Amino acid sequence: MTKTTPAKQKRINNGLVKIAIVSSRFNSFIVDRLYDGAIRTLNSNGVDNDAITAIEVPGAFEIPVTVRTLIENKKFDAIITLGAIIRGETPHFDFISNECTRGIGQLAIESGVPIIFGVLTVDNSEQAMDRAGDEESNKGSEAAAAALEMVSVLKEIKS
């Protein structure tokens, strides 16, 4: 049995890898930190800013339709989604988080494009801040690392 392992990230990030980041403006005090973590991780792995397309949408609910349009353009090796849905006093949290998650997952399965779910679904702002902290606890950074790994894995499988 042959085990497929990801190629070295530096090998695939020579300017040919194109990454899109779709981020929500809602709860920007959190999402901006996730975005910064993602950019730092991409840059430190050899992905130049010219190879990154960043798109902001009003909220998490608008992320899936934007991702679908990016997929249709066939320009990106991976798409990172970033947002922060914080539970409130109404069921709105459940509706938004469920539809955002379902939409992103469905698009990933149907398209075969790695779509990384970096949308926080948390009970309060403190939990969100904990997940948007320094590099070791920044979920945006983790999402970017997952995107690079998935690009590598899929290139390995296809070669």
Domain 16-152 has CATH 3.40.50.960: yes
Closest CA to 126 of 29, 22, 32: 29
Interval 124-151: pLDDT, tens: 999 999 999 876 789 999 999 999 999 9
Instruction: Spell out the domain ranges in the chain.
Output: 16-152
| Alpha carbon distance 93, 85 (integer Å) | 7
Residue 85 reports pLDDT greater than 50: yes
Q: Is 0.85 topped by the overall pTM? A: yes
CA gyration radius for the chain? Answer: 15
Residue 16 has pLDDT above 50, yes or no: yes
**122 CB neighbour count, 10 Å cutoff:** 20
- Over pLDDT 70: what percentage of the chain? 90
The pair of structure tokens assigned to 12 is: 């695939």
The answer, yes or no, to whether residue 57 has pLDDT greater than 50, is: yes
- 158 to each of 4, 46, 112, 152, how far by Cα in Å? 11, 22, 12, 10
Kindly indicate the confidence band of residue 32, based on its pLDDT and cuts at 50, 70 and 90.
Answer: very high
Cβ within 8 Å of residue 125, ≥6 positions away: 30, 86
Catalytic sites, residue numbers: 92
pLDDT digits (tens, 9 = 90+) for 97-117: 999 999 999 999 999 999 999
pLDDT for position 136: 78
Does pLDDT of 39 surpass 50? yes
